[in-house]
Amino acid sequence: MSFVKDGESWRITTDMAVRGILHGTDFIRLLKSLRARWYGHVERMQNQRMSKQTATATMEATTKSGRPRK
């Protein structure tokens, strides 16, 4: 199920309608190729750019994961 803007209102479309719009294109493959293209763009950026810093950042946990003991 997805949402499509129709004039001034939003309407819910079915998966079959989305497939009809894409004309049989594999949606997952399309998303993966767009993500890979974006990653290549970020890799060519200068290191000072915020987009590259956030894409290549590593997270360090300072607290334990899970439910608090309280």
Whether residue 45 lies inside any domain: the answer is: yes
Q: Give how many domains the chain has, as a whole number.
A: 1
- Residue 69 lies inside a defined structural domain of this protein: no
Percent residues over pLDDT 70 in the chain: 87
pLDDT (tens digit, 9 = 90+) per residue, 29-39? 888 999 999 99
Per-residue pLDDT for 1 more than 60?
no
Q: Can you give the residue range of the structural domain that contains 25? A: 2-49
Within-domain flag for 55 = no
**Crossing angle, helix 27-43 and helix 15-22, to 10 degrees?**
60
37 in a structural domain: yes
Q: Which residues pair with 3 in a beta bridge?
A: 12
Paired tokens of 41: 């763009």
Residue 64 lies in a domain: no
Per-residue pLDDT, 49:
92
47 touches 53 (CB < 8 A): yes
In a domain, 26, yes or no: yes
Does some domain include residue 7? yes
Q: Decide if 30 is inside a domain.
A: yes
Which pLDDT value is given to residue 46? 93
